[in-house]
């Protein structure tokens, strides 16, 4: 029984494996090879140069700054997305009226194309011609234009908030879906026993949500860290590299400085960074799966 089960399990994996190997496996391996190669558009020849690209990238004086910004960008982003997503999902779940309406409304930011989101927000946040500054000043909330994207101290936070606006709906959707089969009996029993909502939340609902929080966390961490459009279109990594994340610099190395070798090396480094960031979630996921007897 056990053996047979194993064999047919592999059969289920065949189609996805073929597609992924062909379309993702190959370019990733190719990319890793390139990272050990001297390859710029300046020359049509490529040759192996060991870890030169890695040394150059790591010695780059901007590297540490970019790394820190990447971690800040990802960390704050995920925290906010998660809190807002879960909070709103619980809120919407509680509503008796307007539940459906809220669900649709809260999902809308997600379906606006990334390019359009970035450009619209950029325009809204400009000084003088931007509507946000106009409204803030109109209602006397600030005396002068806030330089949302030009002030190096707040540009990153602005981008994070815009990205949270765009990305929290995914959390909202995942949590809402998971709340649909929350352990109603347990909750009712707890209510009977006079438990208060925070307790129910803490001991019944959150444990129920935890597997989906872990897997959504992994995915959104990866997506957020690698998110490119929004930053590129809104600030191009500026002002003064205050919003330069790893993908931004990777892109600039390849398509501004024409150095594909170094760009690939930075991509591999960013892969390692993301893996490190993801370890806690993945552990949690594997832990959950073990508990459920899946692994």
Partner 1 sequence: MKRKAKSFLACALCVAMVAGTVLTGCGNSGGNDSKKEDTGDKKVITFYGFSDWVDTDPYKSVYQEVKAQFEKENPGYEVELQSDPWGDWEQKNKTMFASGNVADVFYVGNDNFPTFANSGNLLDLDQYVDKGYFDDFFENVRKMYQWEGKSEAIPFTTDCRILWYNKEIFKEAGLDPENPPKTWDELRDDAKQITEKTGKYGFGMDLGLKEIPAQSLICASDYSILDVADDGTVTSNVKDQAFKDYLKLLSDMKDTYEPDFTNLDHHDVAKQFAEGQFGMIIGNNLSETDIYDKDFWGQALVPTMTADSPQGSFGGGFGISVNSETKYPEQAVKFAQMLCDPKYNGDLVSDIPASNAGAANCAYAKDDKYAVIMDQIQYVRQAQPKTLYFNEVQAAVYDTVANVIVGGQDIDSAVDALDSQINDIVKQ
Partner 2 sequence: MNPKSKKKLKKGIGSAASVILMILLTVIVLFPIYWLVVTSFKMESEIYQIPPSLFPKNLTFDNYLHALVETKLPQYFLNSIIYTVGTLLVALLCGALAAYAMSRFRFKGKKTYLLVILLSQLMPMTTLIVPLYVSFGKMNLLNNRVAMIIVYAAIQIPIAIWLLIGYFNGIPKEIDEAAIMDGCTRWQILTKIVLPLAKPGLMAVGLSIAISVWQELMLAMTFTNQDELRPLMAGVSAAITKSGVQWGQITATGVLALLPMLIVFIFCQKYLIQGLTGGAVKG
Which of the stretches 66-74, 147-155, 199-207, 245-253 binds partner 2 when contact is defined by CB under 8 A? 245-253
Helix axes 155-179, 114-124, angle to 10 degrees: 130
Stretch that binds partner 2, among 56-64, 68-76, 141-149, 175-183 (CB under 8 A): 175-183
Taking CB under 8 A as the criterion, the residue among 29, 41, 219, 276 binding partner 1 is 41
What does residue 126 show for φ and ψ, rounded to 5 degrees? -60, 160
Q: Return all residues near 136 (Cβ < 8 A) that are at least 6 apart.
A: 142, 146
35-43 contacts at long range (C-beta below 8 A, 24 or more positions apart): 35/261, 35/264, 35/265, 35/267, 35/268, 36/261, 37/261, 37/264, 38/261, 39/259, 39/260, 39/261, 39/264, 40/258, 40/259, 40/260, 40/261, 41/258, 41/260, 42/258
Least Cβ distance, residue 46 to partner 2 (angstroms): 12
Whichever of 193 and 292 has its CB closer to partner 2, that residue is: 292
Candidates 68-76, 123-131, 150-158, 192-200: pick the segment binding partner 2 (CB under 8 A).
Answer: 123-131
Q: Which is nearer to partner 2, 117 or 242 (CB)?
A: 117
| Residue 91 CB neighbours (<10 A) | 12
Binding-site member from 235, 245, 250, 270 for partner 1 (CB under 8 A) = 235
User: CB count, 10 Å around CB of 134?
Assistant: 15
Tell me whether residue 19 or residue 177 sits nearer to partner 1 (CB atom): 19
| Among candidate residues 181, 166, 167, the one with its CA nearest the CA of residue 212 | 181
Query: What part of residues 47-76 is at the interface with partner 2 (CB under 8 A)?
Result: none
| x/- map, 133-162, partner 1, by CB under 8 A | ------------x-x-xx-x----------
Stretch that binds partner 2, among 56-64, 66-74, 144-152, 172-180 (CB under 8 A): 172-180
DSSP 35: T
Q: Which residues bind partner 1 (CB under 8 A)?
A: 4, 7-8, 11-12, 14-15, 18-19, 22, 40-44, 122, 126-129, 145, 147, 149-150, 152, 235-236, 238-241, 252, 254-258, 260
């Amino acid at each position: 029984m056990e053996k047979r089960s194993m064999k047919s399990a592999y059969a289920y994996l065949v189609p996805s494996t073929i597609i992924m190997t062909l379309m993702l496996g190959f370019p990733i391996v190719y990319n890793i090879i390139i990272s050990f190669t001297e390859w710029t558009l300046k020359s049509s020849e490529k040759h192996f140069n060991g870890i030169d690209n890695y040394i150059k990238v790591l010695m780059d004086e901007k590297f540490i700054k970019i790394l820190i910004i990447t971690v800040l960008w990802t960390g704050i982003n995920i925290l906010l997305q998660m809190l807002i997503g879960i909070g709103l999902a619980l809120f919407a779940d509680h509503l008796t009226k307007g539940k459906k309406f809220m669900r649709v409304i809260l999902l809308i930011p997600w379906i606006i194309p990334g390019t359009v989101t970035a450009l619209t927000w950029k325009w809204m946040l400009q000084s003088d011609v931007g509507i946000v500054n106009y409204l803030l000043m109109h209602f006397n909330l600030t005396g002068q234009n806030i330089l949302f994207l030009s002030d190096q101290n707040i540009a990153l936070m602005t981008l994070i908030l815009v990205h949270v606006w765009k990305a929290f709906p995914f959390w909202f959707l995942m949590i809402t879906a998971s709340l649909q089969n929350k352990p109603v009996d347990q909750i009712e029993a707890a209510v009977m026993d006079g438990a208060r909502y925070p307790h129910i939340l803490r001991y019944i609902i959150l444990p129920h949500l935890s597997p989906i929080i872990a897997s959504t966390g992994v995915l959104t961490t990866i997506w957020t860290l690698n998110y490119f459009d929004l930053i590129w279109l809104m600030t191009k990594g500026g002002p003064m590299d205050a919003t330069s994340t790893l993908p931004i610099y990777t892109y600039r190395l390849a398509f501004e400085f024409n150095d594909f070798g170094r760009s690939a090396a930075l991509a591999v480094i960013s892969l390692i960074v993301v893996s490190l960031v993801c370890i806690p979630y993945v552990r949690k996921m594997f832990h959950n799966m073990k508990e459920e007897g899946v692994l």
